[in-house]
Amino acid sequence: MRAMSRLSRVDLHVHSEISDGHGSLDAIHEHAREQGLSVVAVADHYDPMDPRRDYDAPARLQAILEVRSLAHSRRAAHAAGAAPDGTLALVGIERGPVSIPGLPQDLDLVIGSVHYLTRPVAARQGDLFNSDFWAAYRDDVLRLALDPQVDVLGHIAGYLPMDPLLNPGSTLQERRAMEREIAARFFDRSWYDALFFRAAATGKAVELHCATRTPGPDEVRLGLGLGVKFSIGSDAHSLDRVGDVAWALDLLESLGATARDIFIPAEAPGRRCR
Ligand SMILES: [Zn+2]
Ligand SMILES: [Zn+2]
């Protein structure tokens, strides 16, 4: 049996029924408690700038803010009581590569993920190793690392926005294999250096994305050496995946990381200026 990690178990990337996940905040919170998590963050998709968006953005934001208010009032009630809750529930969003004008400031965290490119690149299906496309991707991630709205750089080397290049019908497993190949070819040491340098300077966390097990040990070691904080996220879209973070904890332990290397959002609402 695996030894208990001395790093606290957190999961800062969970989708609820508000976007494309399952379960309410309460159901996710309960599951996180059962998993012994110290912090769980629901970060539903909210990206009004996304040209491929298929939901009503104001209604989505309204739903997120209601759940956030619920989480904040529960937290206040627990803090006032004699038996504080063992698992802190946070509510934030996962947005895309473009800043959202007027985003409320009292979300607990904002994950920024490059779900699509911000500059047009001529792309055709089957051209998976299009170097212009991946250069644009690298630039978008570097730009996110300077974006004051973003707390966490989400899945930088996994869940890549490769749909425009993909032949239809590829399986999830094939996609993961393609992503590994793309990362090996196009995400070189100098890019990680530049990215981690920026993240450390701006105080942004880089996500350890448990669903794709990325980035890999060499990159995480490099980031730790440069003072980057890492955020642990399952990217769970179903209740049974909430808290599925053993990969990240094992990796951090094996690299000698300490609690200081793990990103935990401040609890207080309204702490940021955006
Ligand atoms: Zn994402
Ligand atoms: Zn996600």
What confidence tier does 272 reach under pLDDT thresholds 50, 70, 90? Answer: very low
Q: Is the pLDDT of residue 273 over 90?
A: no
The structure's pTM equals 0.94
In 3D space, the residue among 73, 154, 79 whose CA is nearest the CA of residue 106 turns out to be 73
What sign has the CA pseudo-torsion 32, 157, 237, 273? Answer: positive
The residues that bridge with 232 in the sheet, in sequence order, are 208
Q: Give the distance (Å) from ligand 2 centre to CA of residue 82.
A: 35
Ligand 1 centroid–CA 77 distance in Å is 32
On the question of pLDDT at 4 being above 60, the answer is: no
Of the listed ligands, the closest to the CA of 210 is 2
* E strands present in the chain: 10-14, 39-45, 88-95, 110-112, 152-153, 205-209, 229-233
Which one, of 91, 85, 20, lies nearest residue 55 by Cα? 20
Ligand 1: centre distance to CA 160 (Å): 9
Smallest-distance ligand from the CA of 153: 1
Report the alpha-carbon angle 212-195-14, nearest 5. 35
Give the confidence band of 168 by pLDDT, cuts at 50, 70, 90. Answer: confident
Give the per-residue pLDDT at 80.
Answer: 67
Ligand nearest to the CA of 50: 1
Q: List strands edge to edge, sheet with 110-112.
A: 10-14, 39-45, 88-95, 110-112, 152-153, 205-209, 229-233
| Ligand of minimum distance to the alpha carbon of 235 | 2
Residues 96-109: what's their mean pLDDT? 96
Q: What is the pLDDT of residues 175-234, one digit of tens each?
A: 999 999 999 999 999 999 999 999 999 999 999 999 999 999 999 999 999 999 999 999
In this structure, the number of other CB atoms found within 10 A of the CB of residue 270 comes to 10
- Cα 111 to averaged position of ligand 1 atoms, centre (Å): 8
Please provide the average confidence, as pLDDT, over all residues in the chain. 92
What confidence score (pLDDT) does residue 6 get?
A: 78
The three-class DSSP label of residue 201 is helix
pLDDT value of residue 76: 80
Structural domains in the chain, sorted by start: 10-261 (3.20.20.140)
